[in-house]
Amino acid sequence: MFSKILIANRGEIAVRIIKTARRMGIKTVVVYSEADADSMAVEMADEAVFIGGAPASESYLVADKIVDAVRQTGAQAVHPGFGFLSENAGFARRLAAEGIVFIGPNPKAIEAMGDKIESKKFAARAGVSTVPGHVGEIDDTAHAIKISEEIGYPVMIKASAGGGGKGIRVAWNRRDVEEGFPAVRAEAKASFGDDRIFIEKFIESPRHVEIQVLGDKHGNVVHLFERECSIQRRNQKVVEEAPSPLLDEATRKAMGDQAVALAKAVGYDSAGTVEFVAGQDRSFFFLEMNTRLQVEHPVTELITGVDLVEQMIRVAAGEALPFAQGDLKINGWAMESRIYAEDPYRGFLPSIGRLVRYSPPPEGDMPGGTITRNDAGVREGDEISMFYDPMISKLSTWGPTRDAAIDAMGRALEDFHIEGLGQNIPFLAAVMDQDRFRSGKLSTNYIKDEFPDGFQGLPPTDAQRDLIEAVAIYMQTLQAHRVARFGDEPREDWVVVAGAHRRRVSAMMTPDGLVVRNGGPELKLSRVGWRPGQAQFRGSLNGSDFTVTVKPAAEGFVIRHRATTLHVLVLSPRSAELHEKLPPKKAADTSKMVLSPMPGLVVSIDVAQGQEVKTGEVVAVLEAMKMQNILRAERDGVVKAVSVKAGDSVAADEVLVEFA
Ligand code: ADP
Ligand code: ADP
Ligand code: MG
């Protein structure tokens, strides 16, 4: 076994690999760029080597620098994680030539599977069912149209070297091909330096199901069952689970057998993933093979009890797999949510910045027999930078059943608190709370189907309204008690105004907590863990634990439970009467303005008066906290006025640009 390995990656996956290496008694070295000097991975590793500038092209993608770092530290092997050099056959060859072990598959297997056209040909020869289409390069737009018409619309135009959801486009007709073919080709050239394109049938409303395989250097290959990753946005995975609610035993076996056959045919000797698209009728077709550890590997680890990173290290060191196919079993169900630095309320625009607050849920065994796991590479105060993937962490839960895993995920998301940047936790919570998700009727169109107009949060259920109101009354009562010291009586009758909803309630503080009567069954709010000023309010309502986030507003409180946010006023009956007579306060309409999110210096204004702007286009660049922040249009529109110019200093919430 190795005594020291180097991790050629960063962030959560570097931390993930360090944890297993440490448990195996292997010393770790990480490499780091300028942006990661102060990172958690650097702090955790036994040694760290600086390899260059923040852009990956100056650091994590430079094979020479990785090899130098290996030489300098005497590491015997390199784990590439995912992304960066993980699927680069040249890098694997280079290490071999230098006598360094690559903790991944052999270069021939990477080469054969790294390219979508080649891997599709290979898969077809190995007896794997592939998506109908043209397995070969396409020369030009005329050729693309001819092929598309042979296959029959809709088709998918794909970059052979594509990855991470890039270099893919659906074409529903000839015009789409005329437009899409050159576009995909240009994107492929720019992103992958390789403009080979192919076209296959677009499977409508499919599901993404993939098989985890694991091979060793002695010709053994097993699979560790499937993961379903159908909850996607722009062809990128957001929620993954294992096993798949779609598969029955026969399909699971057929898919597993095909994946193993393909892995054996390429001499696969590490962890890898064979991806399929599947119809609702359980027909399935090969998409691609990823010759690396997959982002969503934790769900497989949770249902099989196998540490995939450990197995990758062991087989790279020459050990034989310690189990055969028959030894592997699915135990329970696991879910993973990718927590991204993006603002779901604003069209999922990227929202990088500093994690002013970062408080993940507790990990490990939970009451009720579930497990929570959070794979992260950040701590409070760290920055999610523009240079790398905007993932903050991967939150996974395990339960004996799918429902239990979903419930555990809902609770874990409630307990996850982040401030300082936009994040998709409320959106993930919404998915967990949807009946369709719970019923397992998934498809890669799920997000488009369920949130056709984007995400605005979910309306409260009756139970959520009860919960949020009880919390508001509790907070108001504490305030009233503080006032009571100055001679007032603590009040017990309230009028609660939550959104457009208003009702009378009576509430009483008891030694165990707060008892609320609102006309329905009595509510008991107990075991409260909250002090004034805290943003997270934990408690138990009629015996069920919950966490909500609370924020004082100019009047009342803003309280969020999962995907639901309510502005709540708790008023004495007398002030409620007065309040009703007041004209409702209108907040200024800022929906047509681009405001400065923080104080800073305007670097550029990228639009002019009268210009038509599309969602996502750059409106202005603002420098703040030594970082350039790109402000994008949140909707299509025409610029009515530009209020500032490059070089101006602006305050938070200052209007920069106004739309008509
Ligand atoms: P696929 O869907 O094909 O499995 P994934 O979404 O699972 O692809 O993840 C692979 C992608 O993860 C890479 O192509 C890259 O964009 C991104 N990535 C690379 N390095 C890291 C990292 N250190 N942390 C998080 N994501 C990364
Ligand atoms: P990447 O390398 O970017 O992961 P994939 O080939 O794995 O590219 O495709 C990414 C996603 O795009 C899949 O998970 C699936 O949702 C969708 N997709 C790819 N090919 C097809 C197809 N032929 N029909 C329908 N959906 C597809
Ligand atoms: Mg893929």
Domain containing residue 471: CATH number: 3.30.700.30
In a domain, 585, yes or no: no
pLDDT of residue 46: 98
Q: Point out the domain boundary residue: 403, 420, 450.
A: 450
In a domain, 523, yes or no: yes
Do 294 and 146 lie in one domain? The reply is no
Domain containing residue 633: CATH number: 2.40.50.100
Give yes or no for residue 82 CB within 6 A of ligand 1.
yes
Do 408 and 467 lie in one domain? The reply is no
Atom 6 (ligand 1) nearest CA: 164
Q: Point out the domain boundary residue: 579, 608, 641.
A: 579
In a domain, 321, yes or no: yes
CA dist 496 and 391 (Å) reads 39
CA dist 342 and 422 (Å) reads 5
End-to-end alpha-carbon separation of the chain, Å? Answer: 66
Q: How many domains does the chain have?
A: 5
pLDDT of residue 587: 63
Do 544 and 502 lie in one domain? The reply is yes
In a domain, 183, yes or no: yes
Determine the 3-state secondary structure of 235 from DSSP. Answer: coil
The residues with which 212 forms a beta bridge, in sequence order, are 273
Q: Is 288 a catalytic residue?
A: yes
List Cα–Cα distances, 371 to 139, 299, 329, 418, 543, in angstroms. 51, 11, 18, 21, 20
pLDDT of residue 145: 97
Domain containing residue 271: CATH number: 3.30.470.20
Convert the pLDDT of each residue in 144-196 to its tens digit. 999 999 999 999 999 999 887 889 999 999 999 999 999 999 999 988 889 99
Residues 6+ apart with CB under 8 A from 291: 86, 87, 104, 105, 109, 110, 113, 114, 268, 270, 272
Do 244 and 368 lie in one domain? The reply is yes
CA dist 52 and 46 (Å) reads 19
Residues 6+ apart with CB under 8 A from 591: none
Do 325 and 424 lie in one domain? The reply is yes
Do 415 and 468 lie in one domain? The reply is no
Which tokens is 65 given?
């620098």
Determine the 3-state secondary structure of 114 from DSSP. Answer: helix
In a domain, 126, yes or no: no
Atom 4 (ligand 1) nearest CA: 294
Residues 6+ apart with CB under 8 A from 457: 345, 426, 430, 563, 564, 565
Domain containing residue 95: CATH number: 3.40.50.20
CA dist 524 and 542 (Å) reads 5
In a domain, 127, yes or no: no
Do 525 and 389 lie in one domain? The reply is no
Range of the domain at 636: 593-659
Do 342 and 437 lie in one domain? The reply is yes
* Ligand 2, CB cutoff 6 Å, lining residues: 131, 156, 162-165, 168, 200-203, 206, 208, 232, 235, 275, 277, 287-288, 444
Atom 23 (ligand 2) nearest CA: 202
Q: What global pTM score does this model have?
A: 0.89
Q: How far from the centroid of its chain's Cα atoms is residue 59's Cα?
A: 24
Determine the 3-state secondary structure of 110 from DSSP. Answer: helix
On the question of a cis peptide bond just before residue 154, with omega within 30 degrees of 0, the verdict is yes
Do 192 and 266 lie in one domain? The reply is no
CB 399 within 8 A of CB 411: no
Do 211 and 333 lie in one domain? The reply is yes
In a domain, 380, yes or no: yes
* Structure letter (DSSP) for residue 252: H
Q: What is the mean pLDDT of each run of 10 residues along the chain (660 residues)?
A: 98 98 98 98 98 96 98 98 96 98 98 92 94 92 96 96 88 96 94 92 95 98 98 94 98 98 97 97 96 98 98 98 98 98 90 94 96 98 93 98 98 97 97 98 97 94 97 89 52 86 91 90 95 94 97 92 96 88 70 81 92 90 76 88 89 85
Do 145 and 168 lie in one domain? The reply is yes
Do 99 and 165 lie in one domain? The reply is no
In a domain, 375, yes or no: yes
Convert the pLDDT of each residue in 437-493 to its tens digit. 999 999 999 999 999 989 999 999 999 999 999 999 999 988 877 655 444 445 589
CA dist 260 and 266 (Å) reads 10
CB 4 within 8 A of CB 75: yes
